[in-house]
Amino acid sequence: MASLTVNGALRQYEGDPDMPLLWYLRDQLQMTGTKFGCGQALCGACTVHIDGAPVRACATPMLAANGRSIVTIEGLDANGRHPLQVAWVELGVPQCGYCQSGQIMQAAALLKNNGRPSEADIETAMSGHICRCGTYTRIKAAIQQAATKGA
C-alpha cells in the first residue's frame, strides 16, 4: 500500500505499485488537469510536482510516490489565481491548451527556485516541454510576467 499526499490531502493507494502516477491522478482521483501526452516522459504534458520538484507523472510509478507530496495543476492554486495562471490568461498563452498544465507546473518549479530567471534560464527549464501549437514566445512572456508578480 502507498500513502501519499495529493494537493494537501492524504491518500491511500492499494493497487499495482508499478502503475504510473498519471493514471492514479486522472482515473482514480479524477484530477484530469494533468494530461497524457507521449507516455514516455518526453513531452512534459504530465508534469506534476513531487516534493516540490517537477516530474513526469506518466513515467513515475506509484511506488515512487509513496510517502511523498504531490501537487497537480489543480493544487497549484485552488482558485486558479497563481501568478502563472493569471499571466497565462492575461497574455492568451494557450491555443489548444493541451500542454499548458505541464508547462505551468514546470514554470512554477522554475520560479520557486529562481524568482528572477533570465531568458536563458527560462529556455533551459522549459526545453523539455513540447507545445504543438508553438506558443513558446507567449509562454516565455507569461513566465517573465509572473516573475515580476512574485510567483
pLDDT per position as a tens digit, 52-105? 999 999 999 999 999 999 999 999 998 999 999 999 999 999 999 899 999 999
CA-to-CA dists, residue 122 to 22, 67, 85, angstroms: 25, 30, 16
The domain 2-76: what is its CATH number? 3.10.20.30
Listed by start position, the domains of the chain span 2-76, 83-148
pLDDT per position as a tens digit, 54-66? 999 999 999 999 9
The domain 83-148: what is its CATH number? 1.10.150.120
Return the H-helix or E-strand segment holding 120. helix 119-126
pTM value is 0.95
